[in-house]
């Protein structure tokens, strides 16, 4: 899938969703959606807005269950993540951390610049049918405008807190609140596991409009958060994960 540029309209919707925007470039506001409820939950996203139809009709939807994989010599993920300032936003669906340009990663002949990262609980992806406590989705864009998402699985660990993530979890914003903490610096590289082995597959946004042509890379080794950090997030979002979607014949590649 690397090197395929998505259609302009799909790309615009993808950027709007991943960057937490509530409107199209035309100014049309999306219908309200949620993770629960008989009318606004995931099973009905496609019926809420015509632009959400891919949520039901798409053939490469995310998240997925990672069970059967093909081990192959995938290119290494080479991260150039830097220490940076950031702003933290609660957009009503998740806590999202927006970062300035400068951090990136390379995979094969592609370079992806980091735009933002956000969290879901439990993990949206499952490994052999099992969720982890949380997941962080690090959203990137390459020069062709294609999105690449690196998923960092998260489990409770023995330490009371993960210091790399502490500046975020110590300042979790309330719904529809944006926070910029004076003097806050994030060490983005420290937020990743040391082992960069990963699963790779073609997928989509996991939120409406569920646009496809997204390159997914799920790191195999989870990182540890403090149990209090997980509880703090769950006080804001008890569950904000889309159910896993049909694989529809897609091949999940696993690094050696």
List residues with catalytic annotation: 93
Sign of CA dihedral 14, 17, 20, 25: positive
CA 99/CA 80 separation, integer angstroms: 14
The answer to whether the bond into 63 is cis (omega within 30° of 0) is yes
3-state helix, strand, coil in the chain (%, to 5): 15, 35, 50
Q: How far is CA 47 from the centre of its chain?
A: 23
Q: Using omega within 30 degrees of 0 as the cis cutoff, is the peptide bond preceding 53 cis?
A: no
- Residue 155 burial (10 A CB sphere; 0-12, 13-18, 19+): middle
The Cα 204–Cα 76 span in angstroms is 22
Q: Are strands 70-72 and 253-255 parallel, antiparallel or unpaired?
A: parallel
CA distance 203 to 245: 10
How far is the C-alpha of 40 from the C-alpha of 45, rounded, in Å?
6
């Amino acid at each position: 899938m690397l090197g395929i540029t998505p259609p302009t309209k799909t790309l615009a919707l993808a950027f709007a969703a991943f960057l937490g925007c509530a409107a199209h470039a035309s100014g049309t506001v999306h219908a309200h959606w949620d993770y629960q409820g008989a009318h606004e939950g995931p099973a009905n996203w496609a019926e809420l807005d015509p632009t959400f139809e891919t949520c039901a009709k798409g053939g490469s939807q995310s998240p997925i269950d990672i069970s059967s994989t093909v081990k192959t010599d995938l290119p290494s993920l080479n991260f150039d993540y830097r220490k940076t300032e950031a702003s933290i936003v609660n957009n009503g669906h998740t806590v999202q951390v927006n970062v300035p340009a400068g951090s990136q990663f390379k995979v094969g002949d592609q370079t992806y610049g980091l735009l933002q990262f956000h969290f879901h609980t439990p993990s949206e992806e499952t490994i052999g049918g099992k969720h982890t406590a949380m997941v962080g989705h690090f959203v990137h864009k390459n020069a062709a405008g294609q999105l690449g998402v690196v998923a960092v699985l998260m489990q409770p660990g023995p330490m009371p807190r993960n210091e790399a993530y502490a500046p975020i979890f110590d300042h979790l914003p309330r719904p529809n609140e944006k926070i910029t903490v004076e003097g806050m610096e994030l060490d983005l590289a420290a937020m990743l596991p040391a082992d960069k082995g990963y699963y790779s597959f073609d997928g989509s946004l996991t939120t409406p409009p569920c646009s496809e042509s997204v390159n997914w890379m799920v790191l195999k080794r989870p990182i540890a958060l403090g149990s209090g950090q997980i509880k703090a997030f769950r006080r804001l979002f008890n569950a904000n994960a889309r159910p896993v979607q049909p694989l529809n014949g897609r091949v999940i590649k696993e690094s050696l």
